[in-house]
Structure 1
Amino acid sequence: MSMGSAARVYRSLQGLFAVYKPPGVHWKLVRDTVETNLIRDLNSLGSPAPRQAIRFLPGRSEGADRSELTLTAARLPVLADHPLVLGVGHGNKMLTGMYSCHLTKEYTLQGLFGKATDDFSDSGRLVEKTTFDHITRDKLEKILAVIQGTNQKALLAFSGVDLKSQEAYEMAVKGLLRPLQKTPPVITGVRCVRFAPPEFTLEIQCLNETPQYLRKLIHEIGLELRSAAVCSHVRRTRDGFFTLPDALLRSHWDLHSVGEAVRQAGPRVRAALSRGEAEETDPGEGRGSGAEAEPRQGCS
């Protein structure tokens, strides 16, 4: 992205981009750091002098008997042109639209059999130790299949399609099932990619999840296998149409890199938002109001 006046460059920063959040760093610190870097770089660009406006400033003139209120004309800079004023781009509205499309996210979860903690993480307070020698990959994959099947039924209900219709089958095969509104967490896919007891690794696709939900999922998998398990690592590898290669590392949290990322993501963002708007205005035949269902986090 070529550099120019701060105003022109700022106007080009209307969109979405992804950044890599280092483990253990709060997301607010990441946001504030990116914001600070952008402001720093924008303020370093050549900008015209602030426009001047005539303002009438109040004052008093002292007379022999009394003081009188007076107005004095003065030329002052327009505050809207001040380089320290922070504006908000259209990307915020696009971000809201992105989440309204109910796009799935993908995670890599690392688990550890043999213990339970108070917060389901490897660093939490230990509350129980268990054996895990009886757990096999086949047993783990059977539990995962039940979890996925249960959540798939819930997703069909949330999507408002007939569970027995051809439409439901075709949408499920193409991965086009989307909830009609905000729902509890839903798992759309889960598989084991590494099994080396006591350690194991899962890949999971889901909607409306939280980090605590994912850690609790590992805990409940341990319970279903008549053992215990904690989550030792959570890594998001995809957020909607953003994947790991899109995520800017800390060394690229600058004006040039962000501008280029916004430009490259633009076509994908517009395409996804257009599809989301089309689904909202024309949800398709055969959809009803949707049945109420709670996706289970484990299985019994």
Structure 2
Amino acid sequence: MGSAGLARLHGLFAAYKPPGLKWKHLRDIVELQLLKGLNAGKPPAPEQRVRFLLAPVEGREEKELTLTATSVPTLTDHLLVRGPAFTSLKIGVGHRLDAQASGVLVLGVGHGRSLLTDMYNAHLTKDYTVRGLLGKATDDFCEDGRLVEKTTYDHVTREKLDRILALIQGSHQKALVLYSNVDLQTQEAYEMAVTGLIRPTTKSPMLIAGIRCLHFAPPEFLLEVQCMHETQKQLRRLVHEIGLELKTTAVCSQVRRTRDGFFTLDDALLRTQWDLHSIQDAIQAAAPRVAAELQKSLRPRLGTQQLPGSGQHRDSEGPSSALKGQAGGAVGG
């Protein structure tokens, strides 16, 4: 089981991180469970070696000893002598989630860690559901943070919220084109835009490819955000600044990642599935899709060129100041 089981552990898989659990602890739990599974196999029968041992001579009344060839087991490979066969595994973590956030967390085992680098270089988008609560502000933008202010929100409507979200999306989409260095006058660029392959060529501020309201029942509202290069704190701050644009305040009560690149909630293993066989099956099932998606995302870009002014200094806040000059405020991370 040991060596054969380890051979099937090279690749990527997704786990579901519950809120309140740090990503480091999740990785440690997965490593412990994998080592437990690899070391749980029945050990092979010990090798036999011939040793000459003293034994009484048969058929004689005198107590006479002689050397007799005897087959005895070799104990050098015994578990109690050498210890467990596997004591550590190389497990990498992709786009991280902070302790309060939950959702899809991609991990790489063995050679799969290099695929995590490929995922990072592909600048893939990620989907989140972000829950907000109108009427108060806190020091860390979280619902359980230190209360800073309380406000009324009776004037907030779904139409006003949708208008703010549209402004945010429009501003970020313009920035996405800027950071992608794509010449929009080419056919290749058009095809990339249709297939959603227009992405930044380098690290950039948080970029929002899409944002919409899924549910609105004041004081609560639920957003779906498709973005890249984000942190969960930036998403919480986004909720806070949306509240300011609505002439009220808002805090974030939940951040949940529903997709990371080509891994979705359906691919994420629950805590009860963080065992050797489930992870092996998940890696094997995802391998063809991982190879195909990375090849498509990392293929050389045709018809791209440096845009005029794209090498100039950019505002460090980038498109996160989504509504500057459009609605008189600032939204983003």
TM-score strictly above 0.5: yes
Per-residue deviation, residues 189-219 of structure 1 (Å, max 9, x unmatched): 0000101111100000000111100000000
Q: Is the 8 A contact 1:109 1:204 kept in 2?
A: yes
1:174: how far off? 2.3
CA contact under 8 A between 1:219 and 1:231: conserved in structure 2?
yes
Residue 287 in 1 paired to residue 305 in 2?
yes
Match of 2:264 in 1: 243
Aligned residue in 1 for 2:11 = 15
CA distance in 2, matches of 1:291, 1:261: 42
> Which TM-score applies when normalising by structure 1?
0.83
Going from structure 1 to structure 2, the CA distance change for 1:265 and 1:297 (only over 3 Å counts) comes to: farther
SS of the equivalent of 2:11 reads coil
Letter in 2 for 1:109: V
Q: CA deviation at 1:286?
A: 3.7
5+ residue gaps, structure 2, are: 48-74, 91-109, 324-328
For the residues of structure 2 that align with 1:14 and 1:254, how far apart are their CA atoms?
Answer: 15
Q: Does 1:28 align with 2:24?
A: yes
Cα–Cα, structure 1 residues 164 and 223, in superposed 2: closer, same or farther, change >3 Å? Answer: farther
Change (3 A) 1:127 1:164: farther
Percent identity reads 54
TM-score (norm 2): 0.75
1:134 corresponding residue in structure 2 = 155
Structure 2 vs 1, CA of residues 270 and 102 (structure 1 numbering), >3 Å: closer, same or farther? Answer: same
CA RMSD of aligned residues (A): 2.3
Where does structure 1 lack aligned partners over 5 or more consecutive residues? 52-74
Larger radius of gyration: 2
| Equivalent in the alignment of 1:43 | 39
| Cross-structure match for 2:164 | 143
Greater relative CO, 1 or 2 (CA 8 Å, sep 6+): 1
Larger proportion of helix? 1
What displacement does 1:175 show? 1.2
Residue 296 of structure 1 aligns to which amino acid in structure 2? S
CA separation in 1, counterparts of 2:115 and 2:83?
25
| CA offsets 1:230-278 (integer angstroms, 9 cap, x no match) | 0011111001000001110111100000000001100111112212331
Give the secondary-structure state (helix, strand or coil) at the position aligned to 1:109.
Answer: strand
Task: Tell me the distance in 2 between the aligned counterparts of 1:81 and 1:284.
Answer: 55
Does residue 110 of structure 1 match 2:131?
A: yes
Matched with 1:85 is 87
SS at the partner of 1:194?
Answer: strand
2:123 alignment partner AA: H
Give the aligned length: 269
1:1-300 counterparts in 2 under 5 A?
5-48=1-44, 83-88=85-90, 89-163=110-184, 167-278=188-299, 282-288=300-306, 290-291=310-311, 293=314, 294-299=318-323, 300=329
